[in-house]
């Protein structure tokens, strides 16, 4: 029985296809949907110029506000479809935080989109979905983006 579904999203078109499937499954199973977005930490690099701590904080706050807005938009869509849903915003390495969230939220299923990269792109970028599949404590449904 599926009681809680964790949908990990980066708000890309591939994630939108997975979101639709997660909402559909949550509705069919009367399950709670947890929509997760993992923010990459804002990395300060030395280079062309100096970034003040204030500017760094403003950049981080802006990124967080944007992500919260995107999460809220998806939660409204899920609730409009009749699904109990809540959002979760974490920071760190995407695959690691998704696996941790699946454990801490006691997810019965993880639904994640795939970008369909292959060859050199997959070698250099890696596959978040592939890493989640190999480490998740529950079944993972991957949905190919359009």
DSSP 109-122: EEEEEE----HHHH
What's the pTM? 0.85
> Tell me, what DSSP letter sits at residue 108?
S
DSSP annotation of 89 reads E
Q: How far apart are CA 53 and CA 26, in angstroms?
A: 42
* Residues 71, 77: Cα–Cα separation, whole Å: 10
Give the chain's domains with CATH numbers.
4-144 (3.40.50.620)
Token readout for 37 is: 């977005």
Token output for 62: 């802006």
CB 39 within 8 Å of CB 10: no
pLDDT in tens, the chain (146 residues): 899 999 999 998 889 999 999 999 999 999 999 999 999 876 666 666 667 778 778 888 888 999 999 999 999 999 999 999 999 999 999 999 999 999 999 999 999 998 755 554 444 445 888 889 888 999 999 998 76
Residue 145 has what pLDDT?
A: 75
Q: Quote the CA–CA distance of 23 and 45 in Å, as a whole number.
A: 39
pLDDT given at position 67: 93
């Amino acid at each position: 029985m599926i009681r809680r579904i964790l949908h990990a999203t980066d708000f890309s078109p591939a994630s939108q296809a997975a979101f639709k499937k997660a909402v559909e499954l949550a509705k069919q199973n009367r399950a709670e949907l947890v929509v997760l977005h993992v923010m990459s930490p804002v990395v300060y690099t030395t280079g062309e110029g100096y970034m003040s701590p204030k500017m760094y904080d403003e950049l981080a706050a802006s990124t967080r506000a944007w992500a919260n807005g995107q999460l809220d938009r998806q939660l409204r869509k899920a609730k409009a479809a009749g699904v109990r849903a809540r959002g979760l915003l974490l920071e760190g390495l995407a695959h690691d935080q998704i696996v941790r969230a699946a454990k801490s939220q006691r997810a019965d299923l993880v639904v994640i989109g795939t970008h369909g990269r292959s060859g050199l792109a997959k070698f250099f970028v890696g596959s978040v979905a592939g890493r989640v599949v190999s480490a998740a404590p529950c079944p993972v449904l991957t949905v190919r983006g359009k």
